[in-house]
Chain A
């Protein structure tokens, strides 16, 4: 789960990390009112879960109230890569001389937390990471002990941050690590940490992503979840509790188990088709799950045919078939052709009870994939 910049900044500020004076606004009037205190120049930043907000026109530097008015009017309510901008963060523009990058994440190969620092922070940090990885100092942390003070100092020093800033920056890093740890974060990041010519530092951006599996014990963070952009199919799938990723093809895929669904998408590609989505319906495949999954794919205008691929392990084929039958009763007409392939435990029993009036049945994964591609190419006309 991703937090908005303003939410993450408020958590960072509570932990003592300096942030620029700012205010959240939902209207042009609120933007102008808040700028009376914040002053100019200032930045207006759209608060949406979209990468590259700046390049997409969601961040604007304003020098006076005229500019603030026109930019606020433009940004509030705009559509940013499919997300409506409901709020903006109005923030004092820091006159900086240097930009530092600070990040905490999990290093998968060692299974340890890793703390990253670079004196070459800013919007090009990914470029820095790929072309000059040595410019980012990495410190691996014993998860039982946490980040030691000396490690933070060492990380900041190694990254080439000037000595007079060492303690200030390492204290921010220690706070960032403790936020990462206490909030079950996947990533905590400040980029950039701006340095002014007076040697003051400010977190000018803030990233805090929380692991979904830990939200059960992070209720105050779970409550911050922004569910307003619920119109997307992704949001709907999230609500239904599916693992769903929308892709750009036209073959809708529903299956059980992440690995099998991925392999099914690959097979669609292998036979020359293009998958429209990844959807893992999970174990059981009871009728409400089947109905919800079909609801998502029926509502995806890109989907021309649907491939239902279930391998019964502990999940029994006859139960899945019953689930499909029950689910189909809730639709008067099926707007898109559905190919079903059931295999594994009790698959034969499942095939026998499956209501085949409106379904195309295939017995192997390969034939089911090819059939779904054919039906999509003829828009169900065969």
Chain B
């Protein structure tokens, strides 16, 4: 089992002809993802390696039975692409685009229909090892197994997954939710799905400084989860008021959003928090 995507997920790529869109579409197809269409306004009728391209998602849905989309549309046009996806029957929209203006995202966030799940933006995507990946995660470091993973960052996730895989600890599904201040799917949404997945025996949650999502997730874990959770928080040494790369990774002047507060909240919810990426592997091993 897995969450959100599997081998039957049928994918549209919005922005399939851009360099990122084309490259990662090929990577996804190579991994086994069922990419059924691309969407680029003005390029309807063309194709990418045999994948038909349509002007709109509506047109693509007239010809295919897609149920998810991956968005590689550049920042200036990305919010429009998201509004377009919201206006359809798709279930899942994965926004890879980095650098969408936050003002646009407030409007996107406020317009989200209840039938759509948005992942991202500025995220690496989601992968169910051996079945399907939507996004830019490097497929070769993942392997099927009992660990569910949810993370705010990309390469840190790869580091932790790679450690797990090297220790023969495979994954049910791994999700990068993105490092922006406004994102669609959050930690709690993912934890809830992993809790309901009988094949996920342990969940790894990688957070970082900024915001209060990890603290809220800790409350959720305490109240609602039987599946054990292993945590990791990046940014313990980050100074106040300096943005550490991700738009959301900043400890505000009032001291909220610190790694210490997140670690404390998680530990009090019974989460085993690793001091180092290696500790995460050890904690997962101890729980299986």
Contacts and interface: CB of A to CB of B under 8 A. Distances in A.
What 5 A-B pairs have minimum CB-CB distances, sorted nearest first?
A259-B153, A258-B245, A257-B155, A259-B156, A143-B106
A343 B99 contact: no
B153 A257 contact: yes
Nearest to B210: A108
Nearest to A265: B237
Contact of A111 (B105, B159, B212, B239): B105
Given A111-B182, A217-B76, A259-B156, A143 B234 contact: no
A258 B249 contact: yes
Contacts of B167: none
A142 interface: yes
Nearest to B235: A262
A136 to B, nearest CB: 12
A245 interface: yes
A269 B155 contact: no
Given A108-B181, A143-B110, A313 B153 contact: no
Contacts of B206: 259
Contacts of B239: 245, 247
Contacts of B254: 126, 129-130
Interface in B169-199: 179, 181-182
Interface of B: 24, 27, 75-76, 99-103, 105-107, 109-111, 124, 136-138, 140-141, 151-159, 162, 179, 181-182, 206, 208-209, 211-212, 216, 232, 234-239, 242-249, 253-254, 259, 275-278
Contact of A214 (B101, B110, B162, B209): B101
Given A213-B75, A256-B155, A314-B136, A267 B246 contact: no
Interface string A273-295: 00100101000000000000000
Nearest to B254: A130
B40 to A, nearest CB: 20
Q: SS class of chain A's interface: helix, strand, loop or mixed?
A: mixed
B253 A266 contact: no
Contacts of A142: 110
Given A259-B151, A266-B234, 15 more contacts: A186-B102, A243-B244, A245-B242, A259-B206, A259-B208, A259-B249, A262-B209, A262-B234, A263-B232, A270-B276, A278-B238, A278-B245, A313-B154, A314-B27, A344-B141
Given A108-B248, A262-B249, A345-B138, A311 B153 contact: no
Given A217-B76, A258-B245, A266-B234, A109 B277 contact: no
A245 B106 contact: no
A278 B244 contact: yes
A216 interface: yes
Interface in A174-189: 181, 184, 186
Contacts of B232: 263
A43 to B, nearest CB: 25
Contacts of B275: 270
Contact of B107 (A108, A129, A144, A211): A144
Contacts of B259: 266
B180 to A, nearest CB: 9
A111 B253 contact: no
Given A256-B155, A258-B244, A313 B136 contact: yes
